[in-house]
Chain A
Amino acid sequence: MPVISCRNVSKIFRRHAGPQLAREHLKALLTRRARRDNDFYALRDISFEVNEGESLAIIGGNGAGKTTLLSLIAGLSCPDRGSLSVNGRIAALLQLGSGFHPDLTGAENVVINASLLGFSRKRTRELFDSIVEFSGIRDFINEPLRTYSSGMVVRLAFSVAINVDPDILIIDEVLAVGDLAFQEKCHERIRALRRARKTFVCVSHAMPMLLQLCDHAIWLDHGELILSGNIQDVIDAYEGRSAPRPPGG
């Protein structure tokens, strides 16, 4: 059974042009203006599978639909067409410091984040020290998060996510904020995750890192799947034709 199975998935966003006033809604309702004019395919007819122990890189230019795809895999939004099934416990790092509150201390944020990712109270207490240890910011753990640099925030967020022991780890570009030593530490943990036959899904523009950490890749462009296959082949094809169509073209 594949860990992630994505079949003919489309995600449609409605363009919110102009103000969201009642009279606009009324006008649209009364004139029965063809809704399709306002529809925008963030993803169109995407199909792929990720099997146990495989790792997937998603590459493509800005606005290609990479983050939208991750949000679907993470179960944060629903596809409009097609079907998507994901088997296993997910930890997703989709945005720097999401779920963290600036006025709370690092320690308080760690506990909240751990509970959101599905830890029990007991497990959180057991793992608290190794989370803080891995993050390497023990000295500042009782300071409010607003005093942290973005590198420190990502250290904390990654430490929590990796210690959840997820079946599927999803990362959207955020690691680049950490310094080289910390990035290397993260990569080592991701390799360990992969040795344990867990799944890793990643969006990044750092091709050398993707080559190291992933074995498969899909290339998205303007919501469509251009190529899917072995990481080296996809990256070669992507870099060979890396002048994408102009936005909106």
Chain B
Amino acid sequence: MWKGDYVFVLRNLILKDFRIRYRNMSLGMFWSLLNPLVMMSVLTFVFVKIFRSPTPHFPVFLLCGLVPFNFFSTAWSSSTTSLADNAGLIKFVRIPRAIVPMSAVLAACPHLLIQLALLLGIATASGIPANIHWAWLPVVFGMELVFLCGLGLVFSAVNVYVRDTRYVVESANTVLFYLVPVFYSFSIIPQAYREVYQYNPIAALILAMREIVLENRAPSEVLLLKLFAVSVVTAAVGWVVFQKLEKRVYDHL
């Protein structure tokens, strides 16, 4: 058994990812802000000026969808390729391998924090006051992290055996962008589908974000419960599947 400091390894792997990503860029951390800003401006122009969307505070409304969605898709796709990308580590260094996809998920967090700060800043600037329910944000994002770790464990292991998996994930992310209420409101989804939507952790996260930031209230209990249940089940399934698939990972890398 590997006897080491899990937290220290995790911290180092996240830091490594962060440094590699930014070291060779002249704009550095600014990229984390630029991407959602550009997306926000373009989509706001399209929906407010062209489609004449009546949604109040449209830029904030949009960021409440974009920020969680970006976080989700980055974490999902980078954790999926994490084992294959770190073949050198997996094949030659003895570490608890589950740490690798989990660190890939956690490495998306610094971006998330920057983008959340941007979102809350723009919200305040456009006249939406800070409220006590913002305290729910760490809770819902915490549950999303648990969900993403489970997802990352399954997909990273499967991606070692079937390398097409990463392309499936990329396509799924594109599809989800339209399927999940990122740039439209949950209320225009037909009643029949709403129940199902709440079981989708990324849709649930966006819903919770809008309830917290725009409607100035705590996310509904049903929603929280569904998010919690799906996250815990996914993490448990992820762990079991990973333990099973991990045994032959060496032979396939």
Q: Which residues of A contact B (CB under 8 A)?
A: 13-14, 20, 71, 74-78, 89-90, 92, 94-95, 97-101, 103-104, 108, 111-113, 115-121, 124
Taking the closest CB of chain B, its distance from the CB of A85, in whole angstroms, is 12
Please determine whether B12 and A111 come into contact, CB atoms closer than 8 angstroms.
yes
Contact A76 B91, CB 8 Å, known A103-B24, A118-B4, A120-B8: yes
9 closest cross-chain pairs (CB), A and B? A118-B4, A98-B92, A77-B250, A99-B93, A94-B92, A120-B5, A115-B9, A121-B8, A115-B12
Please determine whether A99 and B250 come into contact, CB atoms closer than 8 angstroms.
no
Give residues of chain B (10-28) contacting chain A, Cβ–Cβ below 8 Å.
Answer: 11-13, 16, 19-20, 23-24
Cα distance, A112 to B86, chains bound together (Å):
14
Give residues of chain B (234-253) contacting chain A, Cβ–Cβ below 8 Å.
Answer: 247-248, 250-251
Taking the closest CB of chain A, its distance from the CB of B101, in whole angstroms, is 16
Verify if B33 is at the interface (C-beta below 8 Å from A).
no
Please determine whether A98 and B93 come into contact, CB atoms closer than 8 angstroms.
yes
Contact of B94 among A20, A75, A103 (CB under 8 A): A75
Contact A99 B89, CB 8 Å, known A76-B94, A92-B94, A111-B12: yes
Chain B facing A: main interface SS: helix
Verify if B51 is at the interface (C-beta below 8 Å from A).
no
Verify if B3 is at the interface (C-beta below 8 Å from A).
yes
Please determine whether B93 and A108 come into contact, CB atoms closer than 8 angstroms.
no
Please determine whether A116 and B5 come into contact, CB atoms closer than 8 angstroms.
no
Number of A-B contacts (CB under 8 A): 84
Verify if B2 is at the interface (C-beta below 8 Å from A).
yes
Taking the closest CB of chain A, its distance from the CB of B21, in whole angstroms, is 10
Please determine whether B93 and A92 come into contact, CB atoms closer than 8 angstroms.
yes
Cα distance, A71 to B19, chains bound together (Å):
30
Verify if B88 is at the interface (C-beta below 8 Å from A).
yes
Contact A104 B16, CB 8 Å, known A75-B94, A117-B4: yes
Chain A residues whose CB sits within 8 angstroms of the CB of B23 once the complex forms: 103
Beyond A104-B19, A118-B3, 9 additional contacts (C-beta under 8 Å) are: A13-B251, A76-B90, A92-B94, A103-B19, A115-B4, A115-B9, A116-B89, A120-B5, A121-B11
Please determine whether A101 and B16 come into contact, CB atoms closer than 8 angstroms.
yes
Please determine whether A90 and B94 come into contact, CB atoms closer than 8 angstroms.
yes
Contact of A112 among B3, B16, B250 (CB under 8 A): B16
Taking the closest CB of chain B, its distance from the CB of A148, in whole angstroms, is 16
Please determine whether A74 and B250 come into contact, CB atoms closer than 8 angstroms.
no
Contact of A108 among B5, B16, B248 (CB under 8 A): B16
Verify if B218 is at the interface (C-beta below 8 Å from A).
no
- Classify chain B's interface size: 20 to 34
Which single residue of chain A is at the shortest CB-CB distance from B86?
Answer: A99
Verify if B95 is at the interface (C-beta below 8 Å from A).
yes
Which single residue of chain B is at the shortest CB-CB distance from A99?
Answer: B93
Contact A89 B91, CB 8 Å, known A104-B20, A112-B12: no
Chain B residues whose CB sits within 8 angstroms of the CB of A92 once the complex forms: 92-94
Sample of 20 A–B contacts (CB below 8 Å): A74-B94, A75-B94, A76-B90, A76-B91, A76-B250, A77-B250, A77-B251, A92-B94, A95-B88, A95-B91, A99-B92, A100-B88, A101-B20, A103-B23, A115-B9, A115-B12, A118-B4, A119-B4, A121-B8, A124-B8
Please determine whether A99 and B20 come into contact, CB atoms closer than 8 angstroms.
no
Please determine whether B5 and A119 come into contact, CB atoms closer than 8 angstroms.
yes
Taking the closest CB of chain B, its distance from the CB of A37, in whole angstroms, is 18
Cα distance, A101 to B86, chains bound together (Å):
10
Cα distance, A119 to B2, chains bound together (Å):
11
Which single residue of chain B is at the shortest CB-CB distance from A118?
Answer: B4
Please determine whether A98 and B88 come into contact, CB atoms closer than 8 angstroms.
yes
Taking the closest CB of chain A, its distance from the CB of B51, in whole angstroms, is 41
Chain B residues whose CB sits within 8 angstroms of the CB of A118 once the complex forms: 2-5
Cα distance, A101 to B20, chains bound together (Å):
9
Cα distance, A78 to B91, chains bound together (Å):
12
Cα distance, A214 to B91, chains bound together (Å):
26
Chain A residues whose CB sits within 8 angstroms of the CB of B24 once the complex forms: 103
Cα distance, A104 to B3, chains bound together (Å):
25
Cα distance, A121 to B89, chains bound together (Å):
20
Which single residue of chain B is at the shortest CB-CB distance from A95?
Answer: B92
Which single residue of chain A is at the shortest CB-CB distance from B95?
Answer: A116
Please determine whether A78 and B94 come into contact, CB atoms closer than 8 angstroms.
no
